[in-house]
Amino acid sequence: MDRFFTWFAGRVASLVGQPAAFVVAFAIVVVWALSGPLFGFSDTWQLVINTGTTIVTFLIVFLIQNSQNRDAAAMQAKLDELLRAVAKARGQFIGIEHLTDKQIEAIRAALEAEAGDTRGDGKKRPHESVDRLLRRF
């Protein structure tokens, strides 16, 4: 069941992300809107699009979330492998995705401070190198 769901979720997420899926969805809405006069813009006519879009949205959210969770876990495993394989990398960073948001923010802030540029006056300039890069464009 896991393999089938993984395959199915990945396939659906891939398909709904294509321009053709948008065109089909747009066409359905256009056909629905054009059929309004035929059905007298009735409550039932409105209920059809509301129910249809709600059901599709509800199901697609779970499939896309599954695909994103799997992609994020795979990316994290790849990054962990890079941390493990690179001699100067700090292995303590492996698994930090399991920390709280507050803990991760503290680590991020410390890394930014550590990576800051220094000038002749010895003061840190956290984003000076990024600013220089942006000025080139």
Residues 120 and 86 in one domain: no
Residues 63 and 15 in one domain: yes
Residues 70 and 120 in one domain: no
Residues 43 and 106 in one domain: no
User: How many structural domains comprise the chain?
Assistant: 2
Q: Picking from 37-46, 94-103, 124-133, which range would have the lowest pLDDT averaged per residue?
A: 124-133
Residues 87 and 104 in one domain: no
Give 118's strand partners: 124
Range of the domain at 132: 99-137
Residues 16 and 82 in one domain: yes
Cα dist from 96 to 46, 51, 60, 76, 116, whole Å = 48, 41, 29, 10, 22
Residues 27 and 76 in one domain: yes
Residues 106 and 71 in one domain: no
Q: Picking from 12-21, 32-41, 56-65, 104-113, which range would have the lowest pLDDT averaged per residue?
A: 104-113
**117 pLDDT more than 60:** no
Cα dist from 127 to 65, 122, 130, 133, 135, whole Å = 34, 15, 5, 10, 12
**33 pLDDT more than 90:** yes
Of 91, 107, 127, which marks where a domain is finished?
A: 91
Q: How does pLDDT run across 54-102, given as a tens digit for each residue?
A: 999 999 999 889 889 999 999 999 999 999 999 988 989 899 999 999 9
Residues 74 and 18 in one domain: yes
Q: How does pLDDT run across 4-20, given as a tens digit for each residue?
A: 988 998 888 889 989 99
Residues 84 and 114 in one domain: no
Given this model, what pLDDT does residue 73 score?
93
Given this model, what pLDDT does residue 125 score?
65
Residues 14 and 31 in one domain: yes
Residues 85 and 111 in one domain: no
